[in-house]
Amino acid sequence: MTVRQGTLESVSEMTAGQRAQFERDGYLVIRGALSPDEVDFYTDALDQVYARTSYPDSMHLLSAVANCPEMAGLVDNPATFPLVWSMLGWNIHVYHSHLDVHPPLTEPRPFRFEWHQDGGRQNREIETDPRPRLSVKLAYWLSDVSQPGRGNFMVVPGSHRTNRIDGPPSRDVPWPDPEAAIEVTADPGDAVFFDRRLWHARSDNHSTVTRKAVFFGYTYRWIAGRDEIPGGDLTPIQRQLLGRLGIHDGDNLWGHYPDQLPLHADLKSRGLLDPANPALRP
Ligand SMILES: O=C(O)CCC(=O)C(=O)O
């Protein structure tokens, strides 16, 4: 199939309503971000990686595009990517991504308190309260998680400005989920867009459906990437996002030369730079 490029042309920047909801809840669900054909295409690609890598049960494989070049179309998917640049601006890249397959559990897994904010040591080494946003993430659902208990994405809505939640003295000590936690339900093709500070985890998969999802985390180019840089055919914007511009100059990573950046050029040509938004200032 042909991966959709720009068929949702009506989607440009994030709407004011989406922005208000994102600021309030820390996440948005984008229903039908992928067409049924796209779901089939990306599911086939993910299944092939899963078969090739012979994981014994669940797979959580970093560097989504380096490990599965077919996923490149997801990094600037027209149905979702405008949410990313609307929040972070044009000087961005994908710093972290993963391909996830979680078959139904055949026995209880050992307890581990999985609730976290993204960013690792960013959460210890930056002193502000609340912490800064710094990155956002998109999750694409390829399997049916329309019921809880299927390996759903769990969140505490509105927790992205809370630096600490109650948790056990060590992560293997059984501890209840946060009181306000919910399991986000989604159909294949839906996407979730979330602030990295939102407290989140994954529910156990007690269903008969293997849970399949792909995640992309975006941040500023002045924050180092964690992923491997992929080869293969990429569009100029995908090359920017995936670290393949061939530019390693610090001033460029700091955004001093916007004209060298394909995303800046694209937004400029479509009149989407916005002097009122610091991250989108021309
Ligand atoms: O797999 C999930 O639902 C949770 C993913 C997660 O924890 C993350 O992307 O940081």
Q: Collect all residues with Cβ–Cβ distance below 8 Å to 23 and sequence separation of at least 6.
A: none
Which comes out higher in pLDDT, residue 1 or 129? 129
Mean pLDDT, the chain, rounded, equals 94
Identify the residue whose C-alpha is closest to ligand 1 atom 10: 118
Q: Is 244 in the pocket of ligand 1 (CB under 6 A)?
A: no
Distance 266 CA to ligand 1 centre (A): 30
Distance 200 CA to ligand 1 centre (A): 7
What percent of the chain is modeled with pLDDT above 70?
96
Q: What are phi and psi of 260, to 5 degrees?
A: -85, 0
**pLDDT bracket for residue 247 (50, 70, 90):** confident
Q: Is 199 in the pocket of ligand 1 (CB under 6 A)?
A: no
- pTM of the entire structure? 0.95
Identify the residue whose C-alpha is closest to ligand 1 atom 9: 215
182 in Cβ contact with 225 (< 8 Å): no
Residue 56 has a pLDDT of 85
Distance 139 CA to ligand 1 centre (A): 8
User: Prior bond to 130 cis, omega within 30?
Assistant: yes
The H helix count followed by the E strand count for the chain is 9, 9
Q: Which atom of ligand 1 is nearest to the CA of 137?
A: 9
* Average pLDDT score over residue span 22-26: 98
Q: Is 100 in the pocket of ligand 1 (CB under 6 A)?
A: yes
Distance 201 CA to ligand 1 centre (A): 6
- Pocket test residue of 137, 182, 197, 215 for ligand 1, highest count of atoms within 8 A of CB: 215
* Average pLDDT score over residue span 266-272: 95
Kindly list the distances between the CA atom of residue 264 and the CA atoms of 57, 114, 237, in Å, as whole numbers in the listed order: 42, 37, 9
* Average pLDDT score over residue span 168-195: 98
* Average pLDDT score over residue span 44-53: 97
212 in Cβ contact with 100 (< 8 Å): yes
What percent of the chain is modeled with pLDDT above 90?
92
**pLDDT bracket for residue 254 (50, 70, 90):** very high
Q: Is 76 in the pocket of ligand 1 (CB under 6 A)?
A: no
In angstroms, rounded to a whole number, what is the distance separating the alpha carbons of residues 213 and 221?
25
Two structure tokens written together for 32: 């039908």
Q: What is the pLDDT of residues 116-125, one digit of tens each?
A: 999 999 999 9
Q: Is 8 a residue whose pLDDT tops 60? A: no
- Pocket test residue of 177, 200, 204 for ligand 1, highest count of atoms within 8 A of CB: 200
Q: Is 244 a residue whose pLDDT tops 90? A: yes
Q: Which domains does the chain have, with CATH numbers?
A: 16-280 (2.60.120.620)
3-class state of residue 131 by DSSP: coil
Distance 116 CA to ligand 1 centre (A): 9
Q: Helices 16-25 and 81-88 sit at what angle, rounded to 10 degrees?
A: 70
Residue 5 has a pLDDT of 41
Residue 13 has a pLDDT of 87
Residue 85 has a pLDDT of 98
Residue 21 has a pLDDT of 98
